[in-house]
Amino acid sequence: MANQHLLKPAAASLAITTLKGVGPQIESRLARLGIRTVQDVLFHLPLRYQDRTRFSPMGGLTAGSDVLVTGVIELSGVRMGRRRSLVSVISDNTGTITMRQFRFTATQQRALVRGGLIQCFGEVRQGPTGLEMVHPEYRLLHSESEATTEQTLTAVYPTTDGVGQRKWRDMIGQALPRCATEIEELLPKGVDVPGMEISLADALTLLHCPPVGTDPLLLMQGSHPARQRLAFEEMLSHHIAIRQRRSHRDRLCAPLMPPSTRLWPQLCEQLHFPLTSAQVRVVEEVFSDLGGTVPTMRLVQGDVGSGKTVVAAAAVLAAVEAGCQAVVMAPTELLARQHFDSFEIWLKELGIDAVWLTSRAAAATRRQACQRLASGEVQVGIGTHALFQDDVHYHNLGLVVVDEQHRFGVEQRLALRDKGRSDNRAPHQLVMTATPIPRSLAMVMYADMDVSVIDEMPPGRQPVETVVIPNSRRQAVQERIRESCARGMRAYWVCPLIDESELLDLEAVTQRAESLRQDLPELKIELLHGRNTPAEKDVVMNGFRSGQVDLLVATTVIEVGVDVPEASLMVIENAERLGLAQLHQLRGRVGRGDRKSACVLMYQAPLGDRAKARLSTMRETNDGFEIAQKDLELRGPGELLGTRQSGLPQFRIADLTRDHMLLESVRDVAAQLLDNGETKLIDRLIRRWLRTEDGFYSA
Ligand code: ADP
Ligand code: MG
């Protein structure tokens, strides 16, 4: 597959300052968006488009659209109303529209006279007496012939402070003419992807300056072939980078850890339940990885409550049995503590020591933990990302288990990758997540990982009955808690973030705990939030676990992983503020034992459409995959598939929700390019699409 287009790498490396009107100041502002070269500017696509190519007849206007209209001023004058405004009624031969301005000068007022000709561009809204445009861009005309339309749709760019739309249009205007000669066509001919018949230069020109008649909706939804073509190239570049990372890792060496034949069977005997067949299968998969000398990178996916922790324990035991150190890292202090508690009980029986390490640990404790890890005296470390700080050293780290990996930032993941590495050695890695990932997506965007799915729940679990109730019926909910707790049950009461300010939230949750204590004096009620010290959290959680505490009032700190099987009632206040994934996680805190559990979602009326749909989804299903699917549908294109949550890369153009049908071709073409040893081309693709500063894929 010889590629004739590998000519001038010019625009790829041409600094942005070679454009007229781009000095050091604009340069540094653009750097915030990761834009450094002329090529970067060209690949910065519009967020949306305005259609100023034609005049819309006023008779056919609908609220919500941006339109260009022209007509005669029928009347104009100041209205007093609740706020003083200058109102002008404009008509063409099909209908009328009102132009309203709250800020205006005397000159403007004098110029808007009855009988004058005008053209306006703006958003149509429903006003008190009919359709209106509030503060549109407008221009007075001397004659009808002065009315002007644009030749192309007007692009509106995503931007950063201090770089206006006009600047964007100007930069693009300068860069586009160079693109035909300087932007290389990198994809091989004959690739079967929508839009490949359009040259790269034409695709970019079309997207920046769509000609009259292009459907702006098609462009904005991203289904236009020109956009698909670029999305494909972007996904391809990421996928190749991920595969390169894998092949780099495959050349490294990891300690060999045969399946645990001594400790793991002993732990299984200790457990008061038999493993599900899904757990057995996944443990086998993990053991078979660890038994090789290539560093493992396995993603274990299982819905909340499917029993991932014990699978992690199996891996830890294989490491210990092989004489290596293992660490288990959790994203929050609370979760880390809980892992430590369960592991400590399990490990103690087996005669294995574990240390606990978080960034909040007291200096002396920390020093001691570090020293024991460095000397190899202790084999298991459990904690937060503090386990991977620079001054923490390991004697012979063989396994890293990361729980709820998507919660960690890129930097933390990089630190983790480097830990325990030396020359050509790297530890095995096991990553646990409750986020469902469709298979096609996993094969492309997690191509460097093997995936195991725990697709079965422990037996006896009953679906959590979910009800949706307005905040105004709080009394009734409190009664329900009173009754349940009287029968020996335990309950959570969650107050989600109300404000951006942590202090105000703290106040809200503290007040709620107070009011509940007053209303339910017979119950033991405790409060848990992000500002508690680890010791305080310990006391509260232990009280709740042991049953001394009946009701735990908390912020969303309990969202991930908290496991108290005896808790069977979950109340979430202001549930309408939370996304589906978060609600599912929270609800997953109950229904973990064999008793019937319930979840009460309280909301503040009135509910918006999306919030309503989210809450009814929660009421209808307990299935994490179904909820994730619904989440995608509700959020719609434009918002990436919870990119931040899933630890996936941030794309500039592609959208995995929308473009997933390209995934198969992405794999095929990547295989072709790699098999044919197209290294130069691959380098250029990666340089075009991946931001060096992410360091996301560096092997
Ligand atoms: P998650 O996958 O959400 O991390 P956990 O590992 O915390 O789930 O397990 C949830 C609960 O289910 C725990 O209380 C755990 O002891 C219990 N559990 C795990 N596996 C089984 C099983 N096979 N049978 C019964 N209970 C189990
Ligand atoms: Mg868990």
Q: List the beta strands (DSSP E) in 289-434.
A: 297-302, 325-329, 354-357, 380-383, 397-403, 428-433
Q: Within this chain, do residues 95 and 116 fall inside the same structural domain, yes or no?
A: yes
Is any atom of ligand 1 closer than 6 Å to the C-beta of 9?
A: no
**Is the pLDDT score of 699 beyond 50?**
no
Residues 259 and 300 sit within 8 Å (Cβ to Cβ): no
Q: Within this chain, do residues 473 and 613 fall inside the same structural domain, yes or no?
A: yes
Nearest atom in ligand 1 to the alpha carbon of residue 308 is 2
Query: Is the residue at 501 inside a domain?
Result: yes
Nearest atom in ligand 1 to the alpha carbon of residue 279 is 23
Residue where a domain stops, chosen among 146, 176, 202: 146
Domain housing 110: 54-146
Residues 234 and 406 sit within 8 Å (Cβ to Cβ): no
**CATH number of the domain within which 81 lies:** 2.40.50.140
* Number of domains making up the chain: 3
**Is the pLDDT score of 696 beyond 70?**
no
pLDDT single digits (tens) 588-610: 889 887 788 999 999 988 888 88
Q: In what order do the strands lie in the sheet with 397-403?
A: 354-357, 380-383, 325-329, 397-403, 428-433, 297-302, 450-454
Residue where a domain stops, chosen among 423, 454, 485: 454
Query: Is the residue at 414 inside a domain?
Result: yes
**Is the pLDDT score of 215 beyond 80?**
yes
Which pLDDT value is given to residue 409?
58
For the chain, the average pLDDT equals: 86
- Most distant CA atoms of the chain, gap in Å: 94
* 23 SS3 class: coil
Could you tell me the two tokens for 290? 């660890």
Residues 15 and 30 sit within 8 Å (Cβ to Cβ): no
Query: Is the residue at 45 inside a domain?
Result: no
Ligand nearest to the CA of 585: 1
Is any atom of ligand 1 closer than 6 Å to the C-beta of 307?
A: yes
DSSP label of 152: B
**Residue nearest atom 4 in ligand 1 by C-alpha distance:** 308
Q: Within this chain, do residues 420 and 520 fall inside the same structural domain, yes or no?
A: no
**Cα–Cα distances in angstroms (integers) from residue 239 to residues 296, 429, 602, in the given order:** 19, 20, 42
Which pLDDT value is given to residue 129?
83
Element (H, E) at 684: helix 679-689
Is any atom of ligand 1 closer than 6 Å to the C-beta of 302?
A: yes
* Three-state helix/strand/coil letters over 200-244: HHHHHHHHHCCECCCCHHHHHHCCCHHHHHHHHHHHHHHHHHHHH
Q: Within this chain, do residues 325 and 414 fall inside the same structural domain, yes or no?
A: yes
CA atoms within 13 A on the CB side of 323: 2
Residue 211 Cα to ligand 2 middle (Å): 52
Is any atom of ligand 1 closer than 6 Å to the C-beta of 311?
A: no
> Residue 124 forms beta bridges with which residues?
133
**Is the pLDDT score of 697 beyond 70?**
no
Which pLDDT value is given to residue 24?
94
pLDDT single digits (tens) 565-581: 889 999 999 999 888 88
Degrees (nearest 5) of the Cα angle 212, 217, 219?
75
* 31 SS3 class: helix
Element (H, E) at 664: helix 663-675
Q: Within this chain, do residues 439 and 356 fall inside the same structural domain, yes or no?
A: yes
Residue where a domain stops, chosen among 454, 487, 518: 454
Residues 16 and 34 sit within 8 Å (Cβ to Cβ): no
Q: Within this chain, do residues 587 and 473 fall inside the same structural domain, yes or no?
A: yes
CA–CA dist 666, 655 (Å, integer): 14
Residue 345 Cα to ligand 2 middle (Å): 17
Which pLDDT value is given to residue 113?
92
Element (H, E) at 585: helix 580-587
Q: Within this chain, do residues 366 and 432 fall inside the same structural domain, yes or no?
A: yes
CA–CA dist 293, 258 (Å, integer): 10
Residue 352 Cα to ligand 1 middle (Å): 22
CA–CA dist 21, 423 (Å, integer): 47
Could you tell me the two tokens for 531? 């500002």
Q: Poorest-confidence range of 240-249, 303-312, 379-388, 490-499?
A: 490-499
Higher per-residue pLDDT: 697 or 152: 152
Which pLDDT value is given to residue 505?
66
DSSP label of 79: E
Residues 69 and 56 sit within 8 Å (Cβ to Cβ): yes
Q: Which of 431, 454, 563 to mutate to test the pocket of ligand 1 (most atoms within 8 A of CB)?
A: 563
Is any atom of ligand 1 closer than 6 Å to the C-beta of 309?
A: yes
Query: Is the residue at 257 inside a domain?
Result: no
Is any atom of ligand 1 closer than 6 Å to the C-beta of 279?
A: yes
Which pLDDT value is given to residue 651?
80
Is any atom of ligand 1 closer than 6 Å to the C-beta of 587?
A: no
Residue 315 Cα to ligand 1 middle (Å): 16
**What radius of gyration, in Å, describes the C-alpha atoms of the chain?**
30
Q: Within this chain, do residues 529 and 585 fall inside the same structural domain, yes or no?
A: yes
Ligand nearest to the CA of 330: 2
**At how many degrees (to 10) do helices 663-675 and 679-689 cross?**
140
Is any atom of ligand 1 closer than 6 Å to the C-beta of 119?
A: no
Query: Is the residue at 459 inside a domain?
Result: no
CA–CA dist 422, 541 (Å, integer): 39
Residue 627 Cα to ligand 1 middle (Å): 20
**Is the pLDDT score of 154 beyond 70?**
yes
**Residue nearest atom 25 in ligand 1 by C-alpha distance:** 458
**Bridging pattern class, strands 95-101 and 85-92:** antiparallel
CA–CA dist 127, 88 (Å, integer): 13
CA–CA dist 29, 41 (Å, integer): 13
**Residue nearest atom 17 in ligand 1 by C-alpha distance:** 307
Ligand nearest to the CA of 275: 1
